[in-house]
């Protein structure tokens, strides 16, 4: 959407980002700072993504984070355009966009060179399973919170990165898709395959796809330990941090980190392979990750 109110015809891929709430913030300031349209659908999408926040009294939530849509692959939208959301169900939009990318990758991979037909078959089946898991998750999008949306979006993107023969992986040749790489692909897809298995049950609910993670901090001293923040990142980011740009890591860190300080502190998270640690509050400096 252009500043003059006219709408451009460009469709973009979106992701949900967690941005800090300032002491004097208002919804209008957040929209302007993040280059978002103030139209009813975009505002509704932000309200749905932040059910625990009073968006009309944002200053009362200073120090917390508000989830907002942004254009994927950028830290901000272009200065001369505003992002306008057409469908307020951001989870459904992101799942469909990611699945479209998966289907395109399936088509492209048919022209790739695999070390054997068996490896090619495993590659194809993994992508098919992940795509189907994404489709089944759409049933539950009204129940998905922004944290789970961020997790699922990362998992789908991570699978795509390993599965794409055009992307060079350290230790692998760029011309042949090896058995070890397809094994890594299957490991990266395991959380989504768990979603697929559970979501396929006739009586499955969204809570069946989530597990509670509870963290308690103890001290050998008699005094109660100071409150700590529980930080969360996908395990893949910790294992290969140089593969991911700093702004993406920071966005994930803010999106996934627990809301409440210890002790204890708990969150329910969709099936994931995670790295979890505790530290001082608001310690988002990437040099310490």
Among 7-16, 74-83, 131-140, 232-241, which stretch is predicted with the lowest mean pLDDT? 74-83
Q: How many domains does the chain have?
A: 3
Q: Give the mean model confidence (pLDDT) for residues 88-116.
A: 90
Per-residue confidence (pLDDT) for residue 288, from 0 to 100 = 44
| Residues 95 and 123 grouped into a single domain | yes
Per-residue confidence (pLDDT) for residue 225, from 0 to 100 = 79
50-56 contacts at long range (C-beta below 8 A, 24 or more positions apart): 50/146, 51/145, 52/259, 55/27, 56/27
Among 189-198, 204-213, 256-265, 270-279, which stretch is predicted with the lowest mean pLDDT? 256-265
Q: pLDDT-derived band of residue 165, with 50, 70 and 90 as boundaries?
A: confident
| Residues 95 and 200 grouped into a single domain | yes
| Residues 157 and 142 grouped into a single domain | yes
Say what percent of the chain tops pLDDT 70: 89
Q: Give the mean model confidence (pLDDT) for residues 177-188.
A: 93
| Residues 104 and 176 grouped into a single domain | yes
Q: pLDDT-derived band of residue 64, with 50, 70 and 90 as boundaries?
A: confident
| Residues 124 and 193 grouped into a single domain | yes
Among 92-106, 150-164, 212-226, which stretch is predicted with the lowest mean pLDDT? 212-226
Q: Which residues pair with 213 in a beta bridge?
A: 267
Q: Give the mean model confidence (pLDDT) for residues 200-228.
A: 86
> For residues 223 and 84, which has the higher predicted lDDT (pLDDT)?
84
| Residues 2 and 82 grouped into a single domain | yes
CA atoms within 13 A on the CB side of 272: 29
Q: Give the mean model confidence (pLDDT) for residues 92-104.
A: 91
Task: Report H helices in the chain.
Answer: 27-33, 40-49, 90-109, 117-137, 146-163, 179-188, 190-199, 235-239, 246-256
Domain CATH for 7: 3.10.350
| Residues 161 and 214 grouped into a single domain | no
Which residue is it, tokens 């990437």?
A: 286
Per-residue confidence (pLDDT) for residue 24, from 0 to 100 = 92
Q: Where is the domain boundary, 59, 88, 117?
A: 88
For residue 284, pLDDT over 70 is answered with no
Q: Where is the domain boundary, 207, 240, 271?
A: 207
> For residues 7 and 116, which has the higher predicted lDDT (pLDDT)?
116
Find the domain containing 109 and state its range: 90-207
Q: Tell which residue, 83, 79, 76, 72, has the closest CA to residue 39.
A: 83
Q: Where is the domain boundary, 63, 88, 113?
A: 88
| Residues 176 and 237 grouped into a single domain | no
Per-residue confidence (pLDDT) for residue 208, from 0 to 100 = 95
Which residue is it, tokens 């860190």?
A: 253
Per-residue confidence (pLDDT) for residue 287, from 0 to 100 = 41
Distances (CA, A) of 268 to 49, 231, 265: 16, 14, 11
Give the Cα separation of 233 and 182 in Å (integer).
Answer: 23
Q: Give the mean model confidence (pLDDT) for residues 70-78.
A: 63
pLDDT in tens, 117-127: 999 999 999 99
Per-residue confidence (pLDDT) for residue 110, from 0 to 100 = 87
Q: Tell which residue, 138, 134, 125, 127, has the closest CA to residue 161.
A: 127
| Residues 118 and 136 grouped into a single domain | yes
| Residues 243 and 201 grouped into a single domain | no
Per-residue confidence (pLDDT) for residue 171, from 0 to 100 = 66
Q: DSSP letters along 155-198, please?
A: HHHHHHHHH-TTS--TTS-SSSB-HHHHHHHHHHTHHHHHHHHH
| Residues 137 and 157 grouped into a single domain | yes
| Residues 3 and 34 grouped into a single domain | yes
Q: Tell which residue, 254, 275, 266, 32, has the closest CA to residue 146.
A: 254
How much is the pTM?
A: 0.83
Per-residue confidence (pLDDT) for residue 219, from 0 to 100 = 76
């Amino acid at each position: 959407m252009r500043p003059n109110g006219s709408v451009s015809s460009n469709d973009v891929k979106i992701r949900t980002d967690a941005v800090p709430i300032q002491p004097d913030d208002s919804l209008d300031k957040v929209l302007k700072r993040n280059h978002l349209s103030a139209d009813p659908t975009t505002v509704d999408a932000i309200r749905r993504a932040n059910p625990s926040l009073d968006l009309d009294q944002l200053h009362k939530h200073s120090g917390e984070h508000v989830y907002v849509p942004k254009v994927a692959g950028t830290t901000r939208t272009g200065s001369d355009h505003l992002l306008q959301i057409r469908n307020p169900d951001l989870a459904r939009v992101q799942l469909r966009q990611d699945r479209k990318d998966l289907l395109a990758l399936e088509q492209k991979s048919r022209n790739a060179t695999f070390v054997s037909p068996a490896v090619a078959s495993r590659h194809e089946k993994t992508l098919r399973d992940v795509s189907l898991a994404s489709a089944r998750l759409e049933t539950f999008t009204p129940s998905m919170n922004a944290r789970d949306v961020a997790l699922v979006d990362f998992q789908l993107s991570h699978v795509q990165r390993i599965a794409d023969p055009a992307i060079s992986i350290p230790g692998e040749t760029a011309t042949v898709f090896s058995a070890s790489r397809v094994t890594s692909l299957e490991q990266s897809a395991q959380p989504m395959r768990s979603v697929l298995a559970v979501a396929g049950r006739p009586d499955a609910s969204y809570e069946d796809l989530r597990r509670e993670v509870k963290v308690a901090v103890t001290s050998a001293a008699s005094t109660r330990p100071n409150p700590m923040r529980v930080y969360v990142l996908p395990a893949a980011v910790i294992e290969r941090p140089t593969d991911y740009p700093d702004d993406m890591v920071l966005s994930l860190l803010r999106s996934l980190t627990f809301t409440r300080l210890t002790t204890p502190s708990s969150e329910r998270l969709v099936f994931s392979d995670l790295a979890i640690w505790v530290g001082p509050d608001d310690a988002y400096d990437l040099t310490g990750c």
